[in-house]
Structure 1
Amino acid sequence: MTLRIVYLRLLSLLVLLGLAVSGNGQELAFPGAQGWASTTPGGRGGKIIRVTTLADKGPGSFAEAIALAGPRIIVFEVGGIIDLKGQILSIRNPFLTIAGQTAPSPGITFIDGGINVYTHDVVIQHIRIRQGASRHEKGWEPDALSTISAYNVIIDHCSFTWGVDENCSASGPRFDGATPDEWRKNTSHRITMSNNIIAEGLSQSTHSRGEHSKGTLIHDNATDIAILNNLYASNQDRNALFKGGARAVYVNNYIHNPGRIAVRYGLVNAEWEGHPHEKGQLTIIGNVMQHGPSSSDMPLFLMANGPCEVYMADNIAKNKKGEDARLFAGDSAKLVSQRPIWYDAIRPLKAAAVKKNILKNVGARPWDRDENDQRIISDVLNMTGKVIDSEMQVGGYPVFKPTQKAFQEKEWNLKTMTPKR
């Protein structure tokens, strides 16, 4: 039985178990969607937009598809590499589903660029962004993918590597508005990052600040953020970093070979000058950190500066010898006994089961992983991997032979973009 068939049967089982409907009866974006964004419709009910070329722009391109207005579902009739040639694409029109699962093998991989989401009600699944920097000079420093003042966005089963700033982040202005509630409304909120590979942020690359191997930044006052079931591998820092006033749940993630810092909270005083410090809220449950070849001695979670309530339960931290490492460092007075923020429909796995789940299910198209994702999974299994400065250290940009296959609507549930049996 192929991995694709197993995956499709699992999706069908989720539907039968009722996991396509939220606790309040709203339809989920797709079976198993979780977090505050889980009921976004994305492009449901909209036009089917077919990507028919791997060109970076023009008729039939992905860039043209995301620029369209109105509800729309982007499907792919091509597979291979979309070379963005340094472009950072912007998604500005809401009600969009990007269904990378519809592409023929080897799926869709973007190189030398990134994507920013500036709008609401967006679902992104099963794409790879392998940013890299070997073609650029100092000062080129984009994220691979970022939400900017966006909301109701799900980023699920994607693979992000070789980011120059961060690999995958939620951002926006800190203080847009007159009150803290307005600040939270006007920056990214209701964002889910689930089942992704977020790996190998570039360290000494083209970022103007020098060392910048970073996984995920959750910016100041970003709220209702769900980071669930992701693999963070060989990032120096920010696996993830929650800045001042951020409010998030961090559940069932596996952190392999963090370089210097795994997960932390930190408010930068200079950035908040003239504004009262907002209290962060973090719920950290069922995660695993495994030190690797690039790792210093670090805890799973570092409580740095700023007011914050942190709840931690059922987490595992191991050093290079397989012995218990520290779970927490910082001001223990900020640890609380009740979850300060939670989304009731989240059902955490036990931390002991996380590694097996991650290895089987994480990243873009787990039934059809490319060589880079297979290599990163192998690093987890074999306790290998390293923080890198350039994509050239791990083989450079991938090369795939382009493929084509017509998208057949009758083969897909267009409400959830899951394949029919």
Structure 2
Amino acid sequence: MTRHDRRSFLRLVGASSIGAVATAAASGSASAAPGITSGATYRLTPVHSGKALEVAGAGTADGDNVQQWSWNGGDHQRWIVEELDDGTYRIENVNSGNVLDVPNGDTANGTSVHQWSWNGGDMQRWNITQNSDGSYRVENVASGNVLDVSDWSTADGADVIDWDWLEGDNQRWNFEELSGGDGGSGGGGTTGSGSDFHYEDGFADTSWFSDDVTVHRVTEATQSAVEEAFTASGPRLVVFEASGVIDLGGSDLSITNDQCWVAGQTAPSPGITFTNGMIQVEGNDCIVQHIRIFRGEGGGAAEGADPMNSADGTSNVIFDHCTSYWGRDENLSVGYDSTDTTVANCLIAEGLEGPEENSNGSLIGDGATNVALLGNVWAKNNDRNPRLKDDTQSVIANNVVYYFDKAIMGSSGMQSSIEGNVYLGRFDWSDAIVKGDGTVYINDNLVADPGLNGRTFCSVSTTGSRPLWPSGLSPMASGDVESHNLSYGGARPADRISHEQRVIDEVANRSLDTDVSSASDSDIPNHEDDVGGYPSHGGSTHSLSVPSSGLRDWIEQWALSVEDPNASPP
């Protein structure tokens, strides 16, 4: 997936590298492959399957086989690519320390590639040549054959062999850099690989952020401690040296001033969870990451009783990897007349369906423009998944919506690009998935369990081109979205609490009853007590060593550490 510079130490070099195609000489002497950093760690994936090159069974012995497998982030799927003095490369497995090797330099087509201790032979040296499409050909010096997935298989466990170069996609490899090499910047820790959706893949950005921001440390899990940081002035970074559940007592907790970065990922396990209230972003140039909030029944009117939203008229606001549950109106909304707002990688679930509640997912308020909704999971919200009001402009890409009655409702003047989304477990088919007024672009959206079965997907006026789209964003194929979003959605995907895991499992297992006629008869909760009540997880403390420079990399490595179970903090 094409994206902005995702991390200084995680970038896809295959499609984005520039420079002439390198040509390997027959003698084994070669020019450096463009885009390959010597000494860096890479994930190698064949173009045809997208699966990772790995040592079978995470073996460490000489002769252990090499195969392809779905990415799980283990060190046996990570490879250090080192340029040698003659311009060829050795490819070393991180887990075993052994290198990619063709047994005895066998020149026969179909020889299984394995790992072996480094001995410097040509059977362990590889020419890496960039193809015209940006992928790479990996050719063994001894055999002259290339790295190949046998029989074009897309299955886990398919054998990796060498074969004559036939230009097939099973012989073309993408190299995704996972850590810096010689002179690179790895940021410390085990890097891992988080969601494909970066917080800057929408229209909002964090260009205001620099190493000169003031760092506010939250040292106790209390409302007053967080509020002091949220309401401070000036460019600031909020980090957490304590975790736990914070009861807001029915009140709102607002970020009142511009230029605030809330880094919930810095909290020790199991993170920061707010209950019984709302978090609202009232400032411009703000980003909220890796926090949870559970609104609940509470008191007062249901209208406007959301767990999380951006205020009217705000600009350049990002919600990334947040969990937002049990709204009485909507669960996570974007303010009226706002601009440049991104909601990415969030778990937006269980809008309450009580006598006064509305069980709504998200509202995009009148006049909101440049709204990007990317890689989210809306689950168990009856309606507004999302609601696009008058004159809104939005991109709705690669989201999962599960167990709902109504999905997208548009109003007059609305424009939206709706692409690569997945709609699962709808329980009322009285109207289309996309309905109302406005103009939309529709492409590659998937409806399943149950499928459309002749029903209408969109009853809104359509256009043949995207009315708006973030620069550099390339959507994921809809068939890949569910697995990705269930893996990376919510506040701390590698450190989920039971309330989050329960909903993720319900989506994955399709375990809710769709044979109902309305939300009142469905498995959507009426009250938080219907699904176990407020979270009550404990907390802990730690001391953070905040660097004086490289703050962005430091924050992003903390983010990876709660997104990927194989990553560690900086």
TM-score tier by shorter-chain length is: 0.7 to 0.9
1:193 to 332, 335, 343: 343
Query: Where in structure 2 are the equivalents of 1:10-409 lying within 5 Å?
Result: 13=177, 33-42=200-209, 45-57=212-224, 61-133=225-297, 135-139=298-302, 141-148=304-311, 149-172=313-336, 187-204=337-354, 210-258=356-404, 260-267=405-412, 279-292=413-426, 295-297=427-429, 301-305=433-437, 308-320=438-450, 324=453, 326=455, 328-331=457-460, 334-385=461-512, 386-409=523-546
SS in 2 for 1:403: coil
CA separation in 2, counterparts of 1:65 and 1:4?
35
Per-residue deviation at 1:42? 4.8
Task: Name which one, 1 or 2, has greater alpha-carbon Rg.
Answer: 2
Q: 3-state DSSP class of the match of 2:487?
A: helix
Please give the alpha-carbon distance, in whole angstroms, between the structure 2 residues aligned to 1:285 and 1:97.
Answer: 29
CA–CA separation in structure 2 for the residues paired with 1:51 and 1:98: 11
Letter in 1 for 2:441: Y
What is the DSSP-based 3-state SS (H/G/I as helix, E as strand, rest coil) of the residue aligned with 1:212?
Answer: coil
- Whichever residue aligns with residue 409 of structure 1, its letter is V
1:125-159 CA-to-partner distances (Å, cap 9, x unmatched) read 000011101x4255574211111111101100010
Q: Residues 391 and 4 (structure 1 numbering): CA distance in 2 closer, same or farther, change over 3 Å?
A: farther
Quote the offset at 1:384 in angstroms. Answer: 2.3
Does the C-alpha gap of structure 1 residues 380 and 31 become closer, same or farther in structure 2, counting only changes over 3 Å?
closer
Identify the residue that residue 188 of structure 2 maps to in structure 1.
none
- In structure 2, relative to structure 1, the CA distance for the partners of 1:119 and 1:300 (3 Å cut) is farther
1:362 Cα shift?
0.8
Closer, same or farther in 2 for the Cα pair 1:138/1:245, shift >3 Å?
A: closer
Does the C-alpha gap of structure 1 residues 378 and 74 become closer, same or farther in structure 2, counting only changes over 3 Å?
same
Contact 1:45 1:415 in 2 (8 A): no
Aligned partner letter, 1:418 = E
Q: Is the 8 A contact 1:317 1:325 kept in 2?
A: no
Letter of the 1:156 partner, please give it. D
Task: For 2:213 and 2:545, locate their aligned partners in 1 and report how far apart those are by CA, in whole Å.
Answer: 16
Percent of aligned positions with the same letter in both sequences? 35
Residue 319 of structure 1: how far off its partner (Å): 3.9
Q: Which amino acid aligns with 1:147?
A: S
User: How many Å apart are 1:290 and its aligned residue?
Assistant: 0.5
- The question of whether the paired residues in 1 share the 8 Å contact of 2:217 and 2:241 is answered with yes
Which letter maps to 2:314? A
**Letter in structure 2 aligned against 1:285:** E
* Shift in CA distance, 38/189, structure 1 to aligned 2, threshold 3 Å: same
Deviations 1:263-298 (A, max 9, x none): 12124xxxxxxxxxxx22110000000125xx2115
In 2, Cα distance between equivalents of 1:221 and 1:415: 32
Give me the CA root mean square deviation: 2.8
Q: Distance in 1 between matches of 2:433 and 2:221?
A: 41
Distance 2:473 2:343 in 1: 13
Distance 1:251 1:299, change over 3 A: farther
For residues 69-127 of structure 1, give each alpha carbon's deviation from its aligned partner in whole angstroms, at most 9, with x where no partner exists: 01110000101101101111121211110000000001000000011112210011000
Shift in Å at residue 323 of structure 1?
6.1
Give the residue type in structure 2 aligned to 1:316: L
Look up the SS of the partner of 2:552 in the other structure: coil
Structure 1 portions without partners, runs of 5+: 19-29, 173-186, 268-278
Q: Please, which moves more after superposition, 355-364 or 41-50?
A: 41-50
Relative distance call for 1:325 and 1:352 in structure 2 (3 A) is farther
The amino acid that maps onto 2:343 is: M
Aligned partners of 2:474, 2:328: CA distance in 1, in Å? 33
Residue aligned with 2:243, SS: strand
Cα separation, 1, equivalents of 2:219 and 2:549: 18
Contact 2:391 2:411 in 1 (8 A): no
Residue 45 of structure 1: CA displacement? 2.9
What letter corresponds to residue 37 of structure 1 in structure 2? Answer: A
> CA contact under 8 A between 2:199 and 2:344: conserved in structure 1?
no
**TM-aligned CA distance change 1:300 to 1:364, over 3 Å:** farther
- Work out whether residues 243 and 268 of structure 2, in 8 Å CA contact, stay in contact via their aligned partners in 1: yes
Deviation at 1:5, TM superposition (A): 8.7
Residues 254 and 76 of structure 1: CA distance in aligned 2, closer, same or farther (over 3 Å):
same
Structure with greater contact order relative to length (CA < 8 Å, sep ≥ 6): 1
Residue 191 of structure 1 aligns with an amino acid whose one-letter code is: T
Please report how far the alpha carbon of residue 67 of structure 1 lies from its aligned counterpart in structure 2 after TM superposition. Answer: 0.9
Label 1:388 to 1:412 Cα distance change in 2 as closer, same or farther (>3 A).
Answer: farther
More off after superposition, 221-230 vs 116-125: 116-125
CA contact (8 A) 1:42 1:122 kept: no
CA 1:136–1:409 in structure 2 vs 1: closer, same or farther (change >3 Å)? same
CA contact 2:364–2:388 (8 Å) conserved in 1: yes
Whole-Å separation in 2 of the counterparts to 1:389 and 1:13:
46
Which position in structure 1 is the counterpart of 2:40? none
Inter-CA distance 14–297: structure 2 relative to 1 (3 Å threshold): farther
Q: Structure 2: 5+ residue runs without aligned partners?
A: 1-57, 59-71, 79-175, 185-196, 513-522, 558-568
In 1, Cα distance between equivalents of 2:203 and 2:453: 33
Distance, in Å, in 2 between the alignment partners of 1:325 and 1:257 is 20
The aligned amino acid for 2:204 is: A
